[in-house]
Structure 1
Amino acid sequence: MPEEEKLLTEAIRQSTTWLRGCRSLTDAQSDIKNSDRNRVAVSLFHLAMEHHSSILHLARTKHYGSAFALIRSQLEAYIRGVWIHRCATQKEIAHFLANNQPPKIEQLIINIESLPVFENGSLSRFKKKIWKISCDFNHGGYAQISWRLSGNKIVSDFGDEQIIMLLNIANTFTLQTVTELSVLAESEDMAQKVKAIHEEEFGSKHSSSVI
């Protein structure tokens, strides 16, 4: 097996083990306080993790274009969840539930980064870095097209390095998501366990509470 293929196989294994460990923590969480805010936020975080699971499945089955298209969905579910959990007023939550119209993602990030834990601006920098290409993948733009044209053939021509990068992004957002869930659940035990699982799989240099 070529070296790059081995690296991709290992990246898929790591991501699978990591997500399974996260689910073991979140599925066991049953004492979150009942409120519209918490129900909506938890639902969005659950959706973000489901997108990660789908990215993994698509990567295993080599449906790489569809896998890349989901990274924007994972990012948006996470950001909306954080905004609902930490920033939204009761009126804004009610409006979201009635009309399905949250503020634009730029405004959500501005609100989120007004909070001390996010004030370093890393979330907005990361969004700026990947947003254009993630929208391109999501809507069938040039990036999707260019990785399907090889000479006179139309094939999926994604490199292993790109797939590994995608998995690393999905892994990071799942770390952020479960960390945020631990805050919502007021569970320091959950926060410590998710950090330990992440360090065991990826090493301490990749562990961070902010992107």
Structure 2
Amino acid sequence: MTIDGDALLEAQQRSHSWMVSCARILDGVTFSTAMRSGVAVALQHLCIEHQQGAYMLIEQNVRGSAFALYRPQFEAYARGLWYQYCASDTDVDRYMQGAEPPRIGKIASDLETVTGYPGSVVLEVKKGSWGAMCAFTHGGAVQVKARSVGDEIRQNYSDRHAAQLLDSTAVLSYLAALAIAAVADDGDLAKELYETHQQIFSHVYRRDN
């Protein structure tokens, strides 16, 4: 197996460990029955599910579709925060009646003002990665280039890029789980999520630094 292949296997193992642990920790969490809380938690739950979807697609070597899930995963996380912290009651009601949420630029700027660190993460990702996310999701040139190999058409995403995607989707899943803990106003839950995530990913963060 190549070095990149080893990195992908390790990322798959980390992602699986986190998915299992996150599901166990969040099982049975209770929170307010208010519509705002329900919307926020449902969107964060979707964010977590998208990580699971990307993992399963990578497992089946359907890599282009896995990359296409990264933008909707990020949007689910950002929208969940916005509806929890920034939206008016009217915004929440209109959303549940089918109205479109704000565009990501407004969501990011509003969140940076209201929520501090989570909002700054959304703004940073929006500034640095949004264009690539859109290209992956909407069939941009990056998707075409990744399946043009000589005179053949076949997907050709590298193991290294697949591993990076898995780690990135796991980070979003972790942030979504923390957001659910915040809605539940459960500091012990947030602490358990943090400690578990650190246990699984700490050596990755040390290596990157």
Q: Does the TM-score normalized on the shorter chain lie above 0.5?
A: yes
Does 175-184 or 70-79 show the bigger shift?
175-184
Give per-residue Cα distances to partners, 1:117-172, cap 9 Å, x unaligned: 23883421212211111111111110000010010111111111111111121011
What SS class does the counterpart of residue 28 from structure 1 fall into? coil
Q: In the TM superposition, what whole-angstrom CA distance separates every residue of 1:58-95 from its partner, at most 9, and x where no partner exists?
A: 01101000000000000000000001111111011011
Q: Is 1:3 paired with 2:3?
A: yes
Give 1:89's aligned amino acid: S
What's the TM-score, normalizing by structure 2? Answer: 0.93
Residue 38 (structure 2) aligns with: 39
- The 2-side partners of 1:135 and 1:72 are apart by 7
| DSSP-derived class of the 1:111 partner | helix
CA shift in 2, pair 1:4/1:205, >3 Å: closer
More displaced stretch, 41-50 vs 197-206? 197-206
What aligned pairs does 1:42-191 form with structure 2 within 5 A after superposition? 42-118=41-117, 121-191=120-190
For 1:120 and 1:26, the matched residues in 2 are separated by 23
Q: Normalization by structure 1: what TM-score?
A: 0.93
Q: Distance in 1 between matches of 2:97 and 2:115?
A: 30
User: How far off is 1:206 after superposition?
Assistant: 3.8
Q: Is the 8 A contact 2:78 2:122 kept in 1?
A: no
How many corresponding residue pairs? 206
CA apart distance, 1:40? 0.7
How large is the Cα RMSD of the aligned pairs? 1.7
SS in 2 for 1:203: helix
Provide, for residues 35-70 of structure 1, a one-character-per-residue CA deviation record: whole Å limited to 9, x for no partner. 100111111011101100000000110100000000
SS of the residue 1:145 aligns to: helix
1:52 partner letter = Q
**1:156 and 1:74 mapped to 2: Cα distance?**
22
Identity %: 28
Distance 2:9 2:18 in 1: 14
Q: What 5-or-longer segments of structure 2 have no aligned partner?
A: none
Q: Is the 8 A contact 1:37 1:85 kept in 2?
A: yes
CA pair 188-206 structure 1, distance change in 2 beyond 3 A? farther
2:27 aligned with 1:27? yes
Q: 1:150 to 1:204 in 2, by over 3 A?
A: closer
Kindly indicate whether the alpha-carbon contact (under 8 Å) linking 1:112 and 1:118 is maintained by their aligned counterparts in 2.
no
Residue 116 (structure 1) shift: 4.8
**1 CA distance for matches of 2:119 and 2:179?**
17
* Amino acid paired to 1:186: D
